[in-house]
Amino acid sequence: MALPMIREILAQVFKIPATNPFPARFLPPSVTEFLKKVGAGEATINPPVATPPRFRGKIVYDRDGCIGCNLCIRVCPAHAIEFIPETKRVRIYVTQCIFCSQCNDICPKGVLTMSPEFLLGTEDRFAESQIVE
Amino acid sequence: MNETILTPQELIDRFTRTFGDLVSDPRIQIRAEGAKKNPNTNIWMTITRDILKPAISMLKEISYPHLSVISGWDVGEELRMQYIFSIYFGERHGEYMVIFTVPLTKGDLVLPTITDIMPGALFTEREKQEMFGVTITDIPDGRRLFLPEDFPEGVYPLRKDETGIPDTMVKHLWEVGRPTNRPVPPVTEKEEEPKDDPEEKTVKNKENPSPEAEAKTDE
Amino acid sequence: MSDGTPTKKAPYVVPIGPIHPALKEPVQFLFEMEGEVVKKADFAPGQTHRGIEWMGMHRNPVQIVHLTDRICGICGVTHSLAFARAVEQIVDIEVPARADYIRVIIAELERIQSHLLWAGVAAHELGFDTLFYLAWRVREESMDVIEYITGNRINYGLVQVGGVRRDIVPDQHPTIKKCLDGYRDLLGKMLNLFLNDTTISIRCKDTGLLTFEKALELSCVGPTARASGVVKDVRVDYPYSAYGDLDISPILPSAYGGGINGDVYDRIVVRLLEVAQSVEIIETCLKEMPDGPILWESKLPKLLSACKKAHGEAVGRHEAPRGECLHYVAMDGHEAPAMWKVKASSYSNLHSWIPMLEGEQLADVPIIVASIDPCLSCTDRVAVLRGVKRDLMTKEDLHRLSVEKTRRIQGC
Amino acid sequence: MLSMDVILVTILAAGALSIIGIVVGLILLGIDRRISARMQARIGPPLRQPFIDLKKLLSKENIIPENAIPSLFNAAPIVALASSIVVLLYLPIGSMMPILGGYGDLILVMYLLAVPALAMVAGGFASGSPYATVGAQREMVSMIAYELPLASIVIAVAWLLYSSGIADPFALSSIVANPIWSLVGPIGMVGLFVLLLTFAWVSPAELSKIPFDTPEAETELAGGVLVEYSGKNLGLFTIAQGVKTLVMGGLAVAIFFPWNLSPLLGLAGYAALAVDAVFFFAKVILLMILSVTVIRTGLARFRITHVVTLFWVWFGVAGLFGLSLVILDSVLAGWF
């Protein structure tokens, strides 16, 4: 009976675990309180893993440079971009965005970019943080 | 099985010789990709429904074919079913795709099953029944494949005529719940000034930063 | 097992799925059992229809490329590559050679991560969670490299009609090479852990047999077919992208010394050896990658109008980690394709479950089901949303119900 | 006749020991999870995780499936827990003699050990779910399978004590008082070692751990016998599992490693009791890591057929081989 794994696990006990640690060691009673403390410097968190250089996170839009050409709406696969006729600008719903950055590629003025921000979870699909305009 | 490998033209000739007018519009599509431009071969033939099974049997005599899928295309007046095969797999760079197009008139959407000669076709034949409303005669298992039990009869999702998906069945999820009375944000033409939206301030780095530059800072 | 096992003579039915810990994919099985033995197996896919083909037929090719990325979470490049190739044939686009090489590199990285993911899942199905953790830990290396090249771990968004969207620059080579060297060192260990472990081999050898004839008849693809001895590998048979430039041959289980039995064990062998092959392919491609542009047309509006003018039909294929993936596209002078048919690899392999499962033990069902590496998200494609006859609960409803229940339990 | 005092003390001691047993059992589960996680290159949960889980489970309501037999379904976890605790009361903890030692012996312990498994079988059949039914069948099969090697260990030990002329060869107190290793010659040593290994493989089976967790087999039976259990009932099963882990470790210590620290340190009285109890638990933890954690982390799950073959053929033979070596040894010792 060959059990090569036994040797492997016995060696592994004495090595450092490969898991990325959670931000907090234990689940704090209140996450918001904990984050406040971190903000105030009273508590420390394990920093998140850095995003890679080409990461596509939450979209960023420079409204003033936009010329309202609508090309981004034409290539958005998820219909996440809405045209505002009054000002000839667009409004982007981040909850519907699929982060393909195709609009970035097609934008003739380069006013759309992807930021490395990725902590976007929320309960409200149309919260203020979920609309870029 | 035949040991000699036919050229694409010979293969087409063999079909036209045997089936005559029932094979039409044969074409060889060759595409070369990569740096060395080695060609790959696709052979398209339009055949009538009556010779579908003999044609597949003949393909089987040439080399055991692999049935990828049966596809369909609703072109309006008729429905074209594509039987997508490949033969000569296992030969390095020697595989041909053989695609039989079988046109069906909308009034007579019936096809014979090919599961007796290609057992692996059952899945895709079941799918064709539910998606295109084609009746496959003698199909050993005529249940629905992907569509749920409560899907209405007589609606065929991939058809483009009145039996296709009616607009009433479509719900554009992206529109649901979007705020309609949101104030329009002010626009300043070509001016940099702080905005109510905090995102605006961060727009400094231009799109698609060169990866090498960022990679260096990252490591 | 003669004396010990209770033998219930009347067959009873064990349903598995659509949601079950053994199945990471939504499919429903019905097993007619006699004691511990499966007498008859049947399954119903289609538990998660999304209607992607229908959606695609209302969008332009540039949009569809990103839709194809999302057909499957693991095959992030498979579908977009197959789709892009089909459109390129219709529009008659010549892809720059450099883009072909980048496509191959990312496709092979995907094969590595997909096979390792599968290896982990297989280990988990065998109740060997340690190996599962190990395989997935090792897989992270390739995920990191994919992230490094494309920006994201899944949904790479790399392929575009006519080329690729991001280049692989020389500065990135060291990171990629480091990962590949790591895999080369690790592979011997992985092979040892998977193939020499007695508990794995007694579970996997002669389990889930698929004969050569059955595999051929049922048109199986990928490692499932190759483990049964069907020599079929689109990368070798049908030169496309940069694969035509490479000197590779299909991997059969006999490459590991044994015969070809078509059992679960052989499928493990094939997949693990393919990881080694992929490492070699990526190295070669990095070395031989020609210079030049990476896109046929970098101005997307031009690409869109070229697509709009095109008429015709074409088939795009790619050897995905699970086998041949095929997209049939027809265009008739509109923005959106007239027809788009996705044939995912698992579509061709699901059939083989029935001959594999019948006559096997219930305990082996999970590993047999997993052994073809089913990817039902790829296979289930067409659906239409309808609210009728379904109880729809909104978030508010659910929240209210849970608050009520908590109150009831706590008695306040 | 027993005086009121003795009964009262016994009840108090039993209560205290039950609580200690439950706490230590849960800690054992925590250690097992932690060590196993480290072996898998994970950080793993904190040691108190089983307590957190238990607290949560106990605060949840029981859900009884529609086609279950409620009385049997609800009784099963209680029976399982009660019987595991009773076994604990028969075990010597360090230098403390078993509380119920006077009322039963090793044979009784063997029977009691089977009760939690039987309770699980009953609960599984009463669940009315096909998964639980299959799981319960498998539980029965594996129970029958591992009884043979377990029995050969018990017989060997009893034979050894009996042939050495010790009274009450089946009583745990006499087993502890006379470490079996001191009763045998070299051949017997080998025999006992084989039996120890056999016991090390029976323990995970008795505890339904991988590779013998076929009755629960998460990937195919979704929890098997326990699939329909939730809330408090599942919590009781969790406690029972912890206590059973302690019992199996304790049994191994009592039979194979009964030595205590106090004579070595020259302690007496309560200090000796405390030191020995701690030493006892340390031995249990070590044994459990070796025979449960390592095995369950390093192996894949067996099929039920493999379980039967393994125990009836391989470990059955190993057990009998060990037994015959022990007998041979004592016979030889009688000759010379």
The token pair that represents D46 in the structure block: 């904190």
* Closest D-chain CA to A1: D299
Rounded-to-integer distance, Cα D68 and Cα D133, Å = 11
**In the beta sheet, which residues pair with residue C293?**
none
Pick A54's closest partner by Cβ from C67, C70, C166.
Answer: C166
Residues A128, A64 share a domain: yes
Domain-located, residue A12: no
Residue-level pLDDT at B207: 41
Mutual orientation of helices D49-58 and D4-39 as an angle, nearest 10°? 120
- A-B interface: how many C-beta pairs under 8 angstroms? 70
Residue B144's domain comprises 8-160
The alpha carbon of residue C407 and the mean position of all alpha carbons in its chain are separated, in whole angstroms, by: 45
Residues of A in contact with C301 (CB under 8 A): 71, 106
* Amino acid identity, position D44: G
Residues of B in contact with A64 (CB under 8 A): 187-192
Length of chain C: 412
Q: Provide the residue-wise pLDDT of chain C in tens; the chain has 412 residues.
A: 333 344 445 667 777 767 766 666 677 778 787 777 787 778 877 666 777 888 888 888 888 888 888 887 787 788 888 999 899 889 888 889 888 899 999 999 989 998 898 888 888 888 888 888 888 888 888 888 988 888 888 888 888 888 888 888 888 888 889 888 888 888 888 888 888 888 888 888 888 888 888 888 888 888 888 888 888 888 888 888 888 888 888 888 887 877 788 888 888 888 888 888 899 899 998 888 888 888 888 888 888 888 888 888 899 888 888 888 888 999 888 888 888 888 888 888 888 888 888 777 777 777 777 777 676 655 554 444 444 444 556 667 777 777 887 777 666 5
Give me the number of domains chain A comprises.
2
Residues of C in contact with B212 (CB under 8 A): 169, 171-172
**Between chains, do D39 and A13 touch, taking CB under 8 Å as contact?**
yes
Rounded-to-integer distance, Cα C24 and Cα B135, Å = 34
Higher pLDDT: C366 or B199? It is: C366
Rounded-to-integer distance, Cα C96 and Cα D85, Å = 74
Average pLDDT over residues B168-182: 81
Pick C197's closest partner by Cβ from A2, A9, A54.
Answer: A2
Which one of B59, B88, B89, B130 would you mutate to disrupt binding with C, by most C Cβ within 10 Å of its Cβ?
A: B89
Rounded-to-integer distance, Cα B120 and Cα D227, Å = 37
Look at B71-75, B181-185, C314-318, C336-340 and tell me which has the smallest mean pLDDT.
Answer: B181-185
State the CATH number of the domain containing residue A126. 3.30.70.3270
Higher pLDDT: D37 or D185? It is: D37
**Tally of CB atoms within 10 A around C390:** 10
B neighbours by CB contacts (3+ pairs under 8 Å)? A, C
Rounded-to-integer distance, Cα C194 and Cα C268, Å = 8
Pick A63's closest partner by Cβ from B187, B209, B214.
Answer: B187
Q: Provide the residue-wise pLDDT of chain A in tens; the chain has 133 residues.
A: 677 777 878 888 888 888 888 888 777 878 788 888 888 888 888 887 888 888 888 899 888 888 888 888 888 888 888 888 888 888 889 888 888 888 888 888 888 998 888 888 777 888 888 888 8
Residues A42, A65 share a domain: no
Residues of A in contact with C59 (CB under 8 A): 77
The token pair that represents B59 in the structure block: 């393909």
Confidence of residue B193 (pLDDT cuts 50, 70, 90): very low
Residues of A in contact with B195 (CB under 8 A): 63
* Closest A-chain CA to B199: A60
Q: Pick from B62, B104, B63, B57: which is nearest to B82 by CA?
A: B104
Measured torsion, CA atoms of residues B168, B176, C304, A108, in degrees rounded to the nearest 10: 160
Which one of D125, D218, D220, D312 would you mutate to disrupt binding with C, by most C Cβ within 10 Å of its Cβ?
A: D220
Residue-level pLDDT at D133: 80
Confidence of residue D158 (pLDDT cuts 50, 70, 90): confident
B121-158 pLDDT, tens digit per residue, is 888 888 888 888 888 888 888 787 877 777 888 888 88
Residues A126, A84 share a domain: yes
Mutual orientation of helices C97-125 and C78-91 as an angle, nearest 10°? 150
Rounded-to-integer distance, Cα D53 and Cα A93, Å = 40
Determine the distance in angstroms separating the CA of B200 from the nearest CA of chain A, rounded to an integer.
6
The token pair that represents C191 in the structure block: 């092979």
* Closest A-chain CA to C172: A53
Residues of C in contact with B146 (CB under 8 A): 45-46, 49, 380-383
Percent helix, percent strand, percent coil in chain C, to nearest 5: 50, 15, 35
Does residue D119 surpass a pLDDT of 60?
yes
Cβ atoms B114, B65 nearer than 8 A: no
Burial C155-176, CB ≥16 within 10 A → b, else e: bbbbbbbbbbbbbbeeebeebb
For every residue of D213-229, DSSP letters joined together read -TTT-HHHHTTGGGTT-
Q: Which residues contact D13 (CB under 8 A, 6 or more apart)?
A: D99
D211: cis peptide before it, omega within 30°?
Answer: yes
**Between chains, do B187 and A65 touch, taking CB under 8 Å as contact?**
no
CA B131 → CA B81, C50, C381, distances in Å? 12, 14, 11
Determine the distance in angstroms separating the CA of A4 from the nearest CA of chain B, rounded to an integer.
36
If you average pLDDT over each of A101-115, C249-263, D202-216, D259-273, which comes out highest?
A101-115
Quickly tell me which residue has 């059969």 as its tokens.
Answer: C252
Cβ atoms C323, C114 nearer than 8 A: no
Residues A124, A90 share a domain: yes
Beta strands of B34-142 (E only): which ranges?
38-47, 66-74, 78-87, 96-105, 110-112, 135-137
* Residues of A engaging C, defined by a Cβ cutoff of 8 Å: 1-5, 8-9, 18, 52-56, 71, 74-77, 98-102, 105-106, 123
Residue A26's domain comprises 22-49
Residue-level pLDDT at C360: 79
Kindly give the pairing relationship between strand C339-343 and strand C323-332: antiparallel
Residues A91, A67 share a domain: yes
DSSP D172: H
Rounded-to-integer distance, Cα D269 and Cα D271, Å = 6
Residues of B in contact with C347 (CB under 8 A): 69, 123-124
From the number of C-beta atoms within 10 Å of its C-beta (0-12, 13-18, 19+), residue D330 rates as buried
State the CATH number of the domain containing residue B92. 3.30.460.80
Cβ atoms C314, C321 nearer than 8 A: no
Helices (H) and strands (E) in chain A, counts: 4, 5
Determine the distance in angstroms separating the CA of C406 from the nearest CA of chain B, rounded to an integer.
30
**Between chains, do A5 and C128 touch, taking CB under 8 Å as contact?**
yes
Rounded-to-integer distance, Cα A81 and Cα A72, Å = 7
* Closest B-chain CA to A65: B190
Domains annotated for chain C, with CATH where assigned, are: 52-349 (1.10.645.10)
Residues A91, A127 share a domain: yes
Residues A127, A98 share a domain: yes
Residues A125, A69 share a domain: yes
Residues of C in contact with A55 (CB under 8 A): 147, 151-152
Pick C328's closest partner by Cβ from B82, B94, B121.
Answer: B82
Domain-located, residue A122: yes
Which one of D43, D52, D55, D309 would you mutate to disrupt binding with A, by most A Cβ within 10 Å of its Cβ?
A: D43
Residue-level pLDDT at B210: 40
Mean pLDDT of chain B: 79
* Closest B-chain CA to C226: B90
Interfacial B residues in 39-68 facing C (CB < 8 Å): 39-40, 42, 64, 66-68
Length of chain B: 219
Residues A65, A85 share a domain: yes
CA-only gyration radius of chain D, Å? 20
Residue D295's domain comprises 4-335
* Closest C-chain CA to B79: C339
Give me the number of domains chain D comprises.
1
Q: 3-state class of C249 per DSSP?
A: coil
Q: Which phi and psi angles does B28 have, rounded to 5°?
A: -110, 120
Helices (H) and strands (E) in chain D, counts: 14, 0
Does residue B194 surpass a pLDDT of 50?
no
Which one of C248, C300, C382, C396 would you mutate to disrupt binding with B, by most B Cβ within 10 Å of its Cβ?
A: C382
Rounded-to-integer distance, Cα B203 and Cα B186, Å = 17
Rounded-to-integer distance, Cα B62 and Cα C20, Å = 44
* Closest A-chain CA to C141: A18
Q: Pick from D209, D201, D202, D199: which is nearest to D29 by CA?
A: D209
Determine the distance in angstroms separating the CA of C178 from the nearest CA of chain A, rounded to an integer.
16
Residue-level pLDDT at D89: 83
Cβ atoms C316, C326 nearer than 8 A: yes
CA C203 → CA B215, C206, D294, distances in Å? 45, 8, 20
Domain-located, residue B36: yes
CA C390 → CA B107, B169, B173, C386, C387, distances in Å? 35, 14, 17, 8, 6
Q: Pick from C366, C365, C362: which is nearest to C35 by CA?
A: C362
Residues of C in contact with A8 (CB under 8 A): 130, 134, 189, 193
Q: Which phi and psi angles does A131 have, rounded to 5°?
A: -125, 125
- Longest CA–CA span in chain C (Å) reads 75
For every residue of C361-392, DSSP letters joined together read BGGGHHHHHHHT---HHHH--------TTS--
Question: Sheet containing C37-44: which strands, arranged edge to edge?
Answer: C12-16, C28-34, C37-44
Pick A102's closest partner by Cβ from C62, C137, C301.
Answer: C62
A50 touching chain D per CB within 8 A: no
Determine the distance in angstroms separating the CA of C63 from the nearest CA of chain A, rounded to an integer.
4
Whether A and D touch, i.e. at least 3 CB pairs below 8 A, reads as yes
Interfacial B residues in 186-215 facing C (CB < 8 Å): 211-212, 215
Give me the number of domains chain B comprises.
1
Rounded-to-integer distance, Cα C36 and Cα C368, Å = 15
C59 touching chain A per CB within 8 A: yes
Kindly give the pairing relationship between strand A131-132 and strand A89-93: antiparallel
Residue-level pLDDT at B205: 40
* Closest C-chain CA to A106: C300
**Between chains, do C63 and A54 touch, taking CB under 8 Å as contact?**
no
Residue-level pLDDT at D65: 78
Kindly give the pairing relationship between strand B135-137 and strand B110-112: parallel
Domain-located, residue A3: no
D42-92 pLDDT, tens digit per residue, is 888 888 889 988 988 888 878 887 777 888 888 888 888 888 888 888 887
C387 touching chain A per CB within 8 A: no
Domain-located, residue A17: no
Cβ atoms A92, A80 nearer than 8 A: yes
Domain-located, residue B155: yes
Q: Which phi and psi angles does C343 have, rounded to 5°?
A: -115, 105
Cβ atoms B132, B74 nearer than 8 A: yes
